[in-house]
Structure 1
Amino acid sequence: MTGPLIFIDLETTGIRTTRDRITEIAALRVERGVVTSRWQRLIQPEVRIPASISELTGIHDDMVRDAPTFAEIAEELRAWLGDGALVAHNARFDYGFLRNAYKRAGTSFSADVVCTLRLSRRLAPQHREHNLAALLKRHGITSHTRHRAMADAEALLALWQHWEKEHPAARLDEEVQRQRRLPSLPAHLDPGMIQALPKAPGVYLMHGENDLPLYIGKSLNLRARVMSHFQADHRQDREMRLAQQVRHIDWQETAGDLGAQLLEARLVKERQPIMNRRLRRAGRLTGWSWPPGTSRPELQRAEALSGREAEAMMGLFRSAREANEALRQIAADQGLCLRLLGLEAGGGACFASQLGRCRGACRGDEPLALHAARARQALSRLQIHHWPWEGRLAIGEQGLKGMQAWHLVDHWCHLGSADSLTGLDALVDARGAFDVDTYRILRRFLDGDDADKLTLVTLPRRAGSAS
């Protein structure tokens, strides 16, 4: 390679590039194979160093108490680095910390980066372990004070020098240039896997070690969406964790956005990926019902509901807390009494009536029957929309490349999908449990601006079947 190489290593207070801080920086400037300069500083992180990190690195709060902050050394470091290419192991980690540290200091930072973890995977694909400790052991390189920045930077240089002896210079240069040409990807991912991703709608599944489900997402452009995770990893903690842990990516192409959203909602609940929060919760639902002859709503919970049972509920929520908050908001908007609704203990006038926020049914200013009627009407607005079709609904979706999909739905339950209308015949006995996320997806598409792009066909139900 032409130009200087900067072998660099950081010690930090943790692994979150946006929240944790740098405690030590060490770097070696190498020109034509010779170390021409060294740079090393302890950094005052301005936060406490966790005991587990101090035990690992040997850097504790007392050591950095009088050290400069990153902002105080930022320009000195930038000038020393110059136009050299940064060489680091799992370079996304070190580069992400540097970019965020400069951002907090009020400026930006960019540099060419060479990742020795990615390089090792290319040079020795037959080996499974490519962390720095494994590489040093494999090549017989001794390092007595690992997990201090200068020791790791020196170990990294020793590894590089070993590769220079083991491989022709042209091979090393070819692999470095290859890294620079390819999109910035996690070191553990095969770039060919990303190149194989279609620029089409669908769902992608990211897996970690032992095929652990990490994250499931959907997009109208699978390749662009997956790449966006890795382009943001220095700015977002979750994206950094994902980049560090991902080992494999699967995907399923769909005809369009509706199929992608339905598939994503189902797969997240089935596989429970550890980094998904939205769509993940399934199972018990909570909602309001209003039994005949009663003066207030009652909270009901169910492990699973059919579509018809869901329609009878006045709103569906994932927890009692969400249900109570919704009812409190309705009471505030409509001047209803929390005490009469069962949300406030005690007798007599409620607290809100003293503030003029309740119309006074609790103290006789409003007839109880009128209060109950107003409350029932307001709460009914949360009711699941009535299923307007006589039978099951087949929703046809046409893709840009001629790909077609049909989704079978009954009482807002998604029963399955097929490539053709006749393919739905295999789902004649299918039954489904009501899912709040699926209901919202269907309503959004059927009531939205693009509804006219869908084809709707009503299919008869099998005798005795119901959702």
Structure 2
Amino acid sequence: MNAALRLPPGGLAFVDIETTGGPAQRESITEIGIVQVDEDGVREWSSLVRPESRIPDYIQRLTGIDDDMVANAPGFAEIADAVFDRLDGRLFVAHNARFDHGHLRAAFRRAGLDIRPQVLCTVKLSRRLFPDHRRHSLDHLIERHGLAVAERHRALGDAHLLWQFWQKIHERFPPGHIAALVRELVGHPSLPPQLDPQQIADLPDSPGVYLFYGERGAGAAGTDDAARSGPGADSLPLYIGKSTRLRSRVLSHFAADHQSDRELSLSQQVRRIEWITTAGEIGALLKEAGLVKRLQPTHNRLLRRNRDLCAWRLATDMIGDWQLELVHAADLDFGRRDDLYGFFRSRREATHRLRALAREHALCPPLLGLDKHPQGTRCFDFQLKRCRGACHGGESPQAHALRLIEALHAMKVQHWPWPDAVGLREGTAIHVVDGWRWLGTATDEAMLADILEAGRPAFDLDVYKILVKAVQRLPVVRL
């Protein structure tokens, strides 16, 4: 072995895996290859692995590994101890290491083992050593450094390419320079290799919203403080989040050790991060809700736009009897009503909740409009002893109505307490609100005037929930 090669304590393990293309949280590894390098020399080891699902055709064409080849191969649990022994105590070196390390960590957990090696990504190392080159895929490293290819897209073949790359860079750079870079990169193992570290360095640790963009994302970040421009209209983000400490929250996405497929997917796809600073937590919550509904990021499950928002309205008919009516946000000014109960994202959800309420409080479903039933006869729920008889005169309409009002009390919608728009002061910003609608955020009188002159947005349930809590926390300014 070349004497110029400086090895870390415990040595190196150059690692590559092949998978079915499935997530880390399933048995998707099909092959593992490891090249161990230490003071005793170089040793190679590899094994096919039986996954829990079939290998897709395109993966078979890429790797040459098909279902027949792995049919009698061991499952990962059967070779977990052998893999553990070859990795334990060594510097784990892989190309796009988050992928290989993430899949192996998850597989070890399922096998009842926990391994926490120091991890070095050769994509990151190549970017630091050769900043003038834009691309650092393994194919580009092969071409750029003249690496000898034996079996491309096979685990041991690709692991051996990394060992060759390690030798090539030691021929070109002083060992001390490489060792310093390795110490720095291993000390910051959580950033995806394709993400510019300068973006993380520029992130403020203040309240705001962050946007993750993929390969084709474009645009510019923004701030309510006008330090940067607004998010680019010509691109769609992968994910939008909020935090009172932007930098810490963004870093937490990349330090999750792939305990969820969502975090792993995000770390593999993100290419650029943008952010919008806000005056505080309420501003961040409101900005996040607005951006998610407008841009519809693929990885956001909550805060999505909902056009079927509805509520139960309790009113009296022509003869003074209480009755329930399902009303929609598009038809009524939800923010200023004092006779609404619930808020539901669909008619089905509203009906299901009312049926549960009827069973819980022994209310009569036909009188609530949930079932059709001949007037004056006993309903089906009465026969099951779940109704007190208001359907056939066994209970007075007034008594039934009082119990209905009592049952609905916990679902009462908060009534807007002011006649016009007000401002909620948060730091140097004022959030302008009217009828539980967020009209905008102003930092000066001109912005405030523009917001008050603009039209009101549609009623939004997520904004309503934010503002109901915000009016209890922030000073209210009459406008």
Please state which band the TM-score falls in when normalised by the shorter chain.
Answer: 0.7 to 0.9
Once the two structures are superposed, residues 383-436 of structure 1 have per-residue CA deviations (whole angstroms, 9 ceiling, x without a partner) of 4311111322111123xxxxx221111111111112257752332213232111
- Give the Cα–Cα distance (whole angstroms) in 2 for the partners of residues 298 and 165 of structure 1: 79
Q: TM-score, normalised by structure 1?
A: 0.86
Check if 1:315 corresponds to 2:342: yes
Check if 1:343 corresponds to 2:348: no
Kindly tell me: are residues 443 and 82 of structure 1, through their superposed partners in 2, closer, same or farther at Cα, counting changes over 3 Å? Answer: closer
- The aligned runs of 1:24-423 (5 Å cut-off) are 24-31=31-38, 36-141=42-147, 143=149, 145-182=151-188, 184-211=190-217, 212-290=236-314, 292-293=316-317, 296-303=323-330, 306=333, 308=335, 313-344=340-371, 349-368=378-397, 370-372=399-401, 374-375=403-404, 378-379=407-408, 381-398=410-427, 404-420=428-444, 423=447
8 A Cα contact 1:146 1:152, kept in partner: yes
Deviation at 1:12, TM superposition (A): 2.1
- Give the Cα–Cα distance (whole angstroms) in 2 for the partners of residues 118 and 346 of structure 1: 71
8 A Cα contact 1:284 1:304, kept in partner: no
Partner of 1:439: 464
Deviation at 1:334, TM superposition (A): 1.9
- Give the Cα–Cα distance (whole angstroms) in 1 for the partners of residues 414 and 262 of structure 2: 36
Deviation at 1:84, TM superposition (A): 1.9
8 A Cα contact 1:23 1:44, kept in partner: yes
8 A Cα contact 1:304 1:434, kept in partner: no
**SS in structure 2 of the partner of residue 238 of structure 1:** helix
8 A Cα contact 2:151 2:157, kept in partner: yes
Deviation at 1:266, TM superposition (A): 1.0
Kindly tell me: are residues 370 and 53 of structure 1, through their superposed partners in 2, closer, same or farther at Cα, counting changes over 3 Å? Answer: farther
Code of the aligned partner of 1:14: G
RMSD, aligned CA:
2.8
Once the two structures are superposed, residues 286-307 of structure 1 have per-residue CA deviations (whole angstroms, 9 ceiling, x without a partner) of 2333564176433334558645
Once the two structures are superposed, residues 191-222 of structure 1 have per-residue CA deviations (whole angstroms, 9 ceiling, x without a partner) of 22212222222111111112140111111211
Deviation at 1:382, TM superposition (A): 3.0
Once the two structures are superposed, residues 6-61 of structure 1 have per-residue CA deviations (whole angstroms, 9 ceiling, x without a partner) of 111112233422234322211111247x9621111122334444455444433344
**SS in structure 1 of the partner of residue 391 of structure 2:** helix
Once the two structures are superposed, residues 234-257 of structure 1 have per-residue CA deviations (whole angstroms, 9 ceiling, x without a partner) of 211100011001111111222221
Kindly tell me: are residues 70 and 354 of structure 1, through their superposed partners in 2, closer, same or farther at Cα, counting changes over 3 Å? Answer: same
Code of the aligned partner of 1:250: E
- Give the Cα–Cα distance (whole angstroms) in 1 for the partners of residues 188 and 459 of structure 2: 44
Partner of 1:462: none
- Give the Cα–Cα distance (whole angstroms) in 1 for the partners of residues 76 and 13 of structure 2: 19
8 A Cα contact 2:13 2:86, kept in partner: no
Partner of 1:465: none
Deviation at 1:184, TM superposition (A): 1.8
* Structure 2 unmatched runs, 5+: 1-5, 218-235
Kindly tell me: are residues 330 and 57 of structure 1, through their superposed partners in 2, closer, same or farther at Cα, counting changes over 3 Å? Answer: same
- Give the Cα–Cα distance (whole angstroms) in 2 for the partners of residues 359 and 128 of structure 1: 75
- Give the Cα–Cα distance (whole angstroms) in 2 for the partners of residues 234 and 435 of structure 1: 33
Check if 1:456 corresponds to 2:476: yes
8 A Cα contact 1:304 1:433, kept in partner: no
Greater alpha carbon shift after TM alignment, 270-279 vs 193-202:
193-202
**SS in structure 2 of the partner of residue 242 of structure 1:** helix
Greater alpha carbon shift after TM alignment, 314-323 vs 371-380:
371-380
Kindly tell me: are residues 352 and 64 of structure 1, through their superposed partners in 2, closer, same or farther at Cα, counting changes over 3 Å? Answer: farther
Partner of 1:2: 7
- Give the Cα–Cα distance (whole angstroms) in 2 for the partners of residues 143 and 455 of structure 1: 67
8 A Cα contact 2:209 2:246, kept in partner: yes
- Give the Cα–Cα distance (whole angstroms) in 2 for the partners of residues 141 and 7 of structure 1: 15
- Give the Cα–Cα distance (whole angstroms) in 2 for the partners of residues 336 and 93 of structure 1: 56
- Give the Cα–Cα distance (whole angstroms) in 2 for the partners of residues 292 and 346 of structure 1: 20
Once the two structures are superposed, residues 220-240 of structure 1 have per-residue CA deviations (whole angstroms, 9 ceiling, x without a partner) of 211111111111142111000
**SS in structure 1 of the partner of residue 285 of structure 2:** helix
Partner of 2:26: 19
Q: TM-score, normalised by structure 2?
A: 0.84
Kindly tell me: are residues 325 and 127 of structure 1, through their superposed partners in 2, closer, same or farther at Cα, counting changes over 3 Å? Answer: farther
Code of the aligned partner of 2:13: I
Code of the aligned partner of 2:33: A
Greater alpha carbon shift after TM alignment, 46-55 vs 222-231:
46-55
**SS in structure 1 of the partner of residue 114 of structure 2:** coil
- Give the Cα–Cα distance (whole angstroms) in 1 for the partners of residues 54 and 366 of structure 2: 48
- Give the Cα–Cα distance (whole angstroms) in 2 for the partners of residues 349 and 127 of structure 1: 81
- Give the Cα–Cα distance (whole angstroms) in 1 for the partners of residues 307 and 144 of structure 2: 49
Code of the aligned partner of 1:280: R
- Give the Cα–Cα distance (whole angstroms) in 1 for the partners of residues 331 and 178 of structure 2: 59
Kindly tell me: are residues 424 and 167 of structure 1, through their superposed partners in 2, closer, same or farther at Cα, counting changes over 3 Å? Answer: same
8 A Cα contact 2:437 2:459, kept in partner: yes
Deviation at 1:171, TM superposition (A): 3.8
- Give the Cα–Cα distance (whole angstroms) in 1 for the partners of residues 384 and 258 of structure 2: 50
8 A Cα contact 1:102 1:109, kept in partner: yes
- Give the Cα–Cα distance (whole angstroms) in 2 for the partners of residues 14 and 183 of structure 1: 23
Code of the aligned partner of 1:432: P
- Give the Cα–Cα distance (whole angstroms) in 2 for the partners of residues 244 and 197 of structure 1: 20
User: How many residues end up aligned between the 2 structures?
Assistant: 448
8 A Cα contact 1:202 1:251, kept in partner: yes
